[in-house]
Structure 1
């Protein structure tokens, strides 16, 4: 199985959540039909932060629990770890396996190795991987936040001060009419048309505007652009800018 782990912050029912998910499973090649059962193990945190997440000190103990679960469920059930959520003072581990037969009898002795922790666990049929795509997988704006983080990190690695500068934003649409409508809306917001690169079966649009490129600032730009493109049958394809040296 391939690994492509990503981490992002979100909110579930108005509670902060930290999600770690293996994005490789978007590829059907890494979702074999026989892995049709979701296994879950929830761990109650002993010293959660004020917003229900994990302290650095407790994280080390949770890594030990994670390693043990990976080892045992992988060996006994052929289980594949797909995600982990920390929220509301608990850590949730999720796996897909061929079955959850006898899980309670088999897993209880393993969890007893950590007597200072309280656990909930179980299994359910999920052949369509609905929990993976509906709960663990990031939304389009969360995906864009992850891309923004990667780009900003690359700029920081070059010593960039992340100050305002011209930023290119790329879009693709199914129709020229959708492109023209979004273009008109964004020109009002201070964007300028750089060029319109048409490709096979898509109508491209590259806009330009000067903005700061620290993570908070640029994501306040890209999140609404992502939503706007989706609302008009299109896709926001990210941003580019020059590197500025201090």
Structure 2
């Protein structure tokens, strides 16, 4: 995890990452987790409390996702402000949404009675309860980014940057993928991935790096398929996958309709 210095309760200036997880019931969940080494270590030595907001069924869609996110964001901000007002230290570390609930995680000193704080909060859209009876290992596995999570987050950031610069992600283009390792291992990787359409673009000068390439759209659908495959192939070959790059490709501007006089001229020539 990346080091960070933001030790505020809410982590407004910290880095946050989106993860995909499954609930105990097998439903899809989106987890927004705080990436901060210091607070992660704090969680090992202190208490973790999950503030569980069970949402009224009238405010949940067929996929188990809430339809009242603004109210839930306000509730979360209110809880963060209440923890910040306490003398005992506490930190908001993650929020998980799905299966008809939003769960807000806090790491805090044992002296902070978070259940008493939550008891002072009410909501028009959810029933609120606390749970501190789970092992650190369970919490850690749920909120800590895996290698795949980290790479998917990197994909998301690159695609967002491309879009900001006017890229049309649906247009296929040359995409380069960077790998590092021993020459023999990289050759094996290239042979394995050639069946998936990735070809050698070039070797780095010191031969410890290899760039593979393919033509594909630069969008989330492409990398949802490619990224797990590339990480798995790199691990199997004993090399390191270091991400990808491509150029900004903008949708060609449609030609404007010719002027009335130009159309007359063209028609006159045709006649």
The TM-score, its normalising length taken from structure 2, stands at: 0.76
Question: 1:241 aligns to what?
Answer: 246
Moved over 6 A (4+): none
In structure 1, C-alpha distance between the alignment counterparts of 2:131 and 2:111, rounded to whole Å: 8
**RMSD after superposition:** 2.7
Higher RCO structure (Cα 8 Å, ≥6 apart): 1
Trace 1:165-244 onto structure 2 (pairs within 5 A).
165-173=173-181, 175-197=182-204, 203-244=208-249
Q: CA 1:215–1:108 in structure 2 vs 1: closer, same or farther (change >3 Å)?
A: closer
Question: 2:65 aligns to what?
Answer: 53
In structure 1, C-alpha distance between the alignment counterparts of 2:114 and 2:164, rounded to whole Å: 46
- Secondary structure of the 1:31 match is helix
In structure 2, C-alpha distance between the alignment counterparts of 1:124 and 1:203, rounded to whole Å: 48
For the pair shown, the structure with the greater C-alpha radius of gyration is 2
In structure 2, C-alpha distance between the alignment counterparts of 1:73 and 1:160, rounded to whole Å: 42
In structure 1, C-alpha distance between the alignment counterparts of 2:91 and 2:76, rounded to whole Å: 12
Question: 2:83 aligns to what?
Answer: 73
Aligned-pair CA distance for 1:131: 4.4
Question: 2:41 aligns to what?
Answer: 31
Aligned-pair CA distance for 1:108: 4.8
- Secondary structure of the 2:249 match is coil
- Secondary structure of the 1:84 match is strand
In structure 1, C-alpha distance between the alignment counterparts of 2:38 and 2:183, rounded to whole Å: 32
In structure 2, C-alpha distance between the alignment counterparts of 1:188 and 1:11, rounded to whole Å: 31
Q: How many residues align?
A: 235
The TM-score, its normalising length taken from structure 1, stands at: 0.83
